[in-house]
Structure 1
Amino acid sequence: MEKFDNLDEYIADLKAKLKKNPQCGNSHYNLGVAYLSRRDFMEAEREFLDAVAHSPRLAEGYVQLGGIAMQRGDLQSCLNYNVQATQQRPFFAVPWGNIGFVQLQLGDTDNAHKALKKALKLDPEFVQAQATMSSLFITIGDYEEADKLLKKILEKYPNFGPAWNNKALIHAAKEEWADAATCMVRAEENGFEVPEDFKKEVEANN
């Protein structure tokens, strides 16, 4: 996008390219990403659907469609799109991480664990998958493993809000309320929206 002064120019250029070559999956994909920058989810979705229709092996297109489905709260579609991405590119870590995240939301810890293990085998430094894995360990009550992972994340990314929130959850589970409050503040300072109920619980115990 370097040669364009703004997003509108970039979008206009991509549309012109697509007029000449409407079958170009990459141009549809790039246009979808541009619409996402504008938070125009409907137009973005349309372009990503065109992208995978013309380039069915474009795994990133399925991942983006999964992200839009997640935005709508449609976990099943998000899961399906990410599964399609892994069918096109089995060694692409991102959709495996997303599958793990969705399975965890759906309460399927076994399949979540399998998908996250796969994501981290393909990319051991994949921080979102590490954070989701720590959430999974918290869900099953394995605070020691969760804490190990969180230390690893925060050593490398001290401003990663979700990891601070998970540390707060571990401290709360152990009734270490002052530490939970400290970690919660760090999570919020780093852009993580701490759930209101959890916030109230921590505040009530301090």
Structure 2
Amino acid sequence: MEQFDNIEDYIADLKSKLRDNPSCGNTHYNLGVAYLSRRDFMEAEREFLDAVAHSPRMAEAYVQLGGIALQRGDMDSCLSYNVQATQQRPFFAVPWGNIGFVYMQQGDNDKAHKSLKKALKLDPEFAQAQATMSSVLIAMGDFEEADKLLKTLLEKQAHFGPGWNNKAIIEAERGNWSEAAVCIAKAEESGFEVPADFKKEVEEKAGN
């Protein structure tokens, strides 16, 4: 990518490579990533499907397809693609984290916990999986474990908004309203949109 002035030149170069070698899974994958960078999801999806057609073991392409499915709200396809990624590369943490996220969204905390545990065993510093696991632990009522995990996460990723939001939930649960308000401010500084009702409740209680 470095040698190209813009994304269009890079896409044109990849397309010319595919004309010479249409069955190169890597080139299809790179073209898919290039389309994603300009938010052209349909073209990206087509290229990732071509990538796995030519290179069926390319776990990263399944993960990207899962991300596109998630972007359009298709949780079942997102789950299916990430499961396929783990079948190709069982020790790749990212799809396990994504599977955990989907199960959490579907309300299956036990399955979510199991998948996220796998993701974090493979990559203990996988921030997104740490944050999702803390959400699952909060949903299961295990605030102590969630808090421990968030402490580890936020020491290394001080601007990780979802982590601060979850920390705010834990502090609110403990009745530490002013601490919760500080965590909400940090979540928002990090670009995270804190649910309005929760923010209002914390502000009211912290102000008393």
- How would you bin the TM-score normalised by the shorter chain? over 0.9
Gaps (5+ residues) in structure 2? none
Tell me how far apart the structure 1 counterparts of residues 58 and 116 of structure 2 sit (CA, whole Å).
22
Moved over 6 A (4+): none
Which residue in 2 is equivalent to 1:157?
Answer: 157
Normalised to the residue count of structure 2, the TM-score between the two structures is 0.96
Deviations, residues 40-65 of structure 1 (Å, cap 9, x unaligned) = 11111111111111111000000001
Secondary structure, aligned partner of 2:57: coil
Deviation at 1:88, TM superposition (A): 0.6
Which residue in 1 is equivalent to 2:104?
Answer: 104
Tell me how far apart the structure 2 counterparts of residues 3 and 67 of structure 1 sit (CA, whole Å).
28
Which residue in 2 is equivalent to 1:143?
Answer: 143
RMSD: 1.1
Which residue in 2 is equivalent to 1:194?
Answer: 194
Tell me how far apart the structure 2 counterparts of residues 25 and 137 of structure 1 sit (CA, whole Å).
39
Q: Number of residue pairs matched?
A: 206
Please tell me the residue identity of whatever aligns with 1:72.
R
Is 1:18 matched with 2:43? no
Gaps (5+ residues) in structure 1? none
Which residue in 2 is equivalent to 1:54?
Answer: 54
Tell me how far apart the structure 1 counterparts of residues 58 and 180 of structure 2 sit (CA, whole Å).
42
Deviations, residues 76-120 of structure 1 (Å, cap 9, x unaligned) = 111110000001111111000110111111111111111111111
Which residue in 2 is equivalent to 1:124?
Answer: 124
Deviation at 1:196, TM superposition (A): 2.5
Please tell me the residue identity of whatever aligns with 2:63.
V
Identity, % of aligned positions: 76
Deviation at 1:27, TM superposition (A): 0.6
Tell me how far apart the structure 1 counterparts of residues 24 and 199 of structure 2 sit (CA, whole Å).
48
Tell me how far apart the structure 1 counterparts of residues 46 and 197 of structure 2 sit (CA, whole Å).
37
